[in-house]
Amino acid sequence: MTPRTIAQKIIAAHCGQETVEPGDYVTVSADYTACQELFWPGHKRNLERIGVERIPRPDKAIMVIDHSTAGAMGSHHHETHRTLRDWCAKQGIETFFGPGNGLRHLVLTERGFARPGTLVFSDEGNIASIGALNALNIPISTEVLVSLILDENWLAVPPSARITLTGALGFGVTARDVIQHILADATPGGRLLQCCVEFDGPALSALSLDDRQTLLASLFHSGAYTGIMEADEVALHYVRERDQGRPWQVVRADPGASYVAELHYDIGDVAPMVTVPPDAHAAVPVEQTAGRRIDQASIGSCAGGRLDDLRAAARILRGRRVAPHVTLYVTPGSRNVYAQAAREGLLEILAEAGAAVLAPGCTTCWGYQGVLNDNEVSISTQQFNYHGRNGARSSRVYLAGPHVVAASAVAGEIVDPRPMLAESRA
């Protein structure tokens, strides 16, 4: 048999074939279909139009309210919350997670849905973060309805690319800096376009699971289809604590498997990075943007709202205050992250520094909260920075890791976080 990649093995297992090749069109039955509420009004209309009364596998549907964390006055979100909750109850969907549970990405990992060898259909590409647990996300946008209605859907088997990481993170450098560096290097040439990207290399073992999810969450900005990693003992220990007896099988690439691109990065060469708007891959070393005055800073999103991100921000903010002209928002990625941050005293540090801690969810990343006025500037750990993403089209959003964002919030302008970190360690 021809050597196979991780993606080929997982897809083959879910379409009942011994092997599949890149470019093959196959019909698969996913382990789960994960949806969020923003698309629900359209989904509901289509279900009614088709005449669907019952879905065949409510146990495979994972429905999460994670973008609109509250039904605010003047919005339609309260209606969406109610109709989605009612539909799940009617269908017998027990895996409905209402406001405050957090992002689907973390709901899938923390609650044991993302397990080695599982395949998940979702409506967003950044859920590739579940690949840190050797689970494969297939983003299919509005076609999640097909999966819900039929318990199957077709897909084209993607080619695979491989990114090998060596070295160790330098002082003040985070996994977010690494993926921004990779995006700046790999995106312009389209080397990862429509690929399932496998990460490997000795540097991975020293990265936390939060770090690994951060690498995968922003990968889709390169044009990649999805991403995944082999599961080491750190990942397997996490899975065993949460699988609740559900089945799983570790999937590894075969020696000699074929990749359309193979990239190598020494993460010790990476410096703190800042992505300049409006392109999500236009990252430069922080000194090239230093001195840019900011009005807002935010830490959160599926690219930067995990526990390690809050810990990193707290290292900077302990004993310091946010600049008077800056608003700092912090959004824990999930209820579990929020609770653990409280237990560790992180929320106290953030609050005393002047941060506004928001409910778990997407919040500032898509402009639901923290809306920017004309010509205002934000620095954020969020996903996107195109003009108008967070309010006025004349506003500007710079992207960075939690160290850079927290240090810039204190300074009132974009700064290299390493001097503050060095002072904190002294």
Interval 117-159: pLDDT, tens: 999 999 887 899 999 999 999 999 888 999 999 999 999 999 9
- Higher pLDDT pick, 78 / 401: 401
- CB within 8 Å of 206: residues ≥ 6 apart: 168, 169
pLDDT value at residue 35: 93
Q: How many residues belong to the chain?
A: 426
Which is it for the CA torsion 386, 390, 396, 397, positive or negative? negative
CA–CA separation, 393 vs 249, rounded Å? 47
Cα–Cα distances (Å) from 228 to 34, 224, 297, 354, 398, in that order, read 17, 11, 30, 37, 27
- CB within 8 Å of 237: residues ≥ 6 apart: none
pLDDT value at residue 313: 98
Angle at 121 between CA 120 and CA 126, to 5 degrees: 85
CB of 239 within 8 A of CB of 116?
yes
- CB within 8 Å of 371: residues ≥ 6 apart: 390, 391
- CB within 8 Å of 257: residues ≥ 6 apart: 3, 4, 5, 8, 160
Average pLDDT for residues 250-275, to the nearest whole number?
Answer: 98
Average pLDDT for residues 172-182, to the nearest whole number?
Answer: 98
Place of tokens 């993170």: 169
pLDDT value at residue 1: 78
> Helices 402-411 and 418-425 sit at what angle, rounded to 10 degrees?
90
pLDDT band per the 50, 70, 90 thresholds, residue 344: very high
CA–CA separation, 63 vs 43, rounded Å? 12
Give pLDDT tens digits for 6-31.
Answer: 999 999 999 999 999 999 999 999 99
Say what percent of the chain tops pLDDT 70.
99
CA–CA separation, 240 vs 99, rounded Å? 27
Q: Which CATH class is domain 272-425?
A: alpha beta
pLDDT band per the 50, 70, 90 thresholds, residue 426: low
Which sequence spans correspond to the domains of the chain?
Answer: 6-265, 272-425
Residue 381: HSE in the Cβ half-sphere, 13 Å Cα cutoff: 38
The pTM of this model reads 0.96
pLDDT value at residue 8: 98
Q: Name the average pLDDT for the chain.
A: 95
Give 264: exposed, middle or buried? Use CB within 10 Å, 0-12, 13-18, 19+.
exposed
CA–CA separation, 59 vs 31, rounded Å? 9
End-to-end Cα separation, the chain, in angstroms: 58
CA–CA separation, 410 vs 423, rounded Å? 14
Model confidence at 187: pLDDT above 90: yes
CB atoms near residue 335 (< 10 Å): 18
Q: In what order do the strands lie in the sheet with 273-275?
A: 283-285, 273-275, 396-400, 377-380, 296-299, 327-330, 356-357
pLDDT band per the 50, 70, 90 thresholds, residue 77: confident
pLDDT value at residue 125: 77
Omega into 272 within 30° of 0, i.e. cis? no
β-strand 61-64 against 96-97: which pairing, if any?
parallel
Distance of CA 409 to the CA centre of its chain: 23
Give pLDDT tens digits for 57-71.
Answer: 999 999 999 998 887
Give pLDDT tens digits for 348-364.
Answer: 999 999 999 999 999 89
Backbone φ and ψ for 96, nearest 5 degrees, come out as -105, 125
46 residue type, one letter:
N
Average pLDDT for residues 206-212, to the nearest whole number?
Answer: 97
pLDDT value at residue 393: 96
Instruction: Indicate the SS3 state at residue 381.
Output: coil
CB of 153 within 8 A of CB of 27?
yes
pLDDT value at residue 322: 98
Place of tokens 């991975």: 204
Average pLDDT for residues 284-296, to the nearest whole number?
Answer: 98
Q: Which CATH class is domain 6-265?
A: alpha beta
